Amino acid sequence: MNAMLNAALNQIKETSLLLSEDYSDKKTFKKVIEKILVPQKIIKGKISITGKSGKKKTFKAYRIQHNDARGPFKGGIRFHANVSEDEVRALSTLMSLKCAVAGIPYGGAKGGVVVDPSKLSKEELKNLSVAYAKFVTPYIGPWRDVPAPDVNTDGQVMSFMLEAYEKKIGQMAPATFTGKPVELGGSLGRTEATGRGGAYVLQSYVKLKKLNIKTSSVAIQGFGNVGYYFAKFVSKLGFKIVAISDSSSGIYSSKGLNIQALSEFKDKGGAFKDFPIEKGMKLISNEELLGLSVTVLVPAALENAITKDNVENVSADVVFEMANGPTTTEADNYLYEKGVDVIPDILSNSGGVTVSYFEWVQNLGGYYWTEEKVNDELKKTITKAFADIDKIKKDKRISYRRAANYLSLKRIIDAMILRGRV
């Protein structure tokens, strides 16, 4: 069992101990928890494409559907060399919790293909997307399971998958996939939604703690879609971003970085190790970034960034999780004991799935919103979720992660009991 799956299951087990006092029927409660610990369906197999050389290439593929008590399964599809069954299972579990925290009517799922997409031609990427869509077609649909982009997949990949799915079922079904281009029924504001939502949560946290935004320093590990937009939005809010990194290197300046210049450099395909360093700036490693003495540390890359091996180096006042599962259980416990607030991923990066929900609603209704409406609804939804979690944190005297898990797990348990899934 990998670290992220172990952490996800431990979160549920620990939270169930807190929640048990809310339920008089202990036998039913125990049965429900046992069911939540196990996904409802594991779909796995192999998909094949014809490679550029004419040879057949075969890849392991997964779709894991965790729980649909609150609504259709929902979750992204990732193309990555390190995809595994345990990882996909962990992410599907976290998606159930994330959707419940946000208060949107979905369950959790996740999908993936074990592949290094950088080694695929454009035609091979298209063929792989089509093959995966055909592989999962019997298990997905607008009221069954709604996939979306994740690591190394995007709106173009969703477009290929939508086309393959619709051909297979013989009818249009745009609500089956979210994260699509606007031209194919995607929502305005979806591309920036995860980063924007995170900025709204951080703004709420800082306001609650009565911190001065302009003197609050931020270090961001990761400059993919999530880190990129999060950096842009928090910079606009007035936060001082002193460090940021991509997979090649990190850049640090105690006076604050010019996010616009960094964004323009990345838009042109540059790597931070090649960024023209000015006076007062220096290159740092990703590990050095995690150890910076800042107000807010933002892991926004891949999972397991903060572990028992490096957590003692963390010197931030707050860890703000924008990646999925960036903090292991041991590291999380250490930070809690140290008095460091950890704003959990299931809240802080739920902006993406929230606007995916808005996209689904728009597809089903055939009526499309303005970007202003999308952003307004996102802010309302995600700030309410933060307020709900903060209240539980204070009432129960627990961490933000435990409060978020408490709220989400309770919503799932109540839905399962109402449905008679005991």
Backbone angles phi, psi at 104, to 5 degrees: -100, 145
Q: Are 343 and 320 in contact (CB under 8 A)?
A: yes
| 3 state SS of 104 | coil
Q: Is 74 annotated as a binding residue?
A: yes
- Supply 331's token pair: 């590291």
| 3 state SS of 341 | strand
Q: Is 225 annotated as a binding residue?
A: yes
Residue 294 exposed, middle or buried by CB count within 10 Å (0-12, 13-18, 19+): buried
Q: Are 176 and 341 in contact (CB under 8 A)?
A: no
Q: Is 207 annotated as a binding residue?
A: no
Out of 57, 110, 180, 232, the active site residue is 110
Query: What is the rounded end-to-end Cα distance, in angstroms, of the chain?
Result: 26
Which residues, listed in sequence order, are joined to residue 422 by a DSSP beta bridge?
none
Which residues, listed in sequence order, are joined to residue 297 by a DSSP beta bridge?
219, 319
C-alpha span between 177 and 73 (Å, rounded): 11
Q: Are 325 and 303 in contact (CB under 8 A)?
A: yes
| 3 state SS of 232 | helix
Active-site annotation holds for 393 = no
- Supply 408's token pair: 């989400």
Mode of pairing for the β-strands spanning 107-114 and 250-252? unpaired
Q: Are 115 and 151 in contact (CB under 8 A)?
A: no
Other Cβ atoms less than 10 A from the Cβ of 265: the count is 18
Q: Is 348 annotated as a binding residue?
A: no
C-alpha span between 138 and 176 (Å, rounded): 12
Strand segments, DSSP code E, in 39-115 are 41-50, 56-67, 73-80, 107-114
C-alpha span between 362 and 147 (Å, rounded): 16
* The 107-114 sheet, strands edge to edge: 41-50, 56-67, 107-114, 73-80, 145-149
Residue 307 exposed, middle or buried by CB count within 10 Å (0-12, 13-18, 19+): middle
Backbone angles phi, psi at 48, to 5 degrees: -125, 150
C-alpha span between 148 and 72 (Å, rounded): 13
List the catalytic residues: 110
Q: Which residues are annotated as a binding site for substrate?
A: 74, 98, 356
Q: Which residues are annotated as a binding site?
A: 74, 98, 194, 225, 356
Q: Which residues are annotated as a binding site for NAD(+)?
A: 194, 225
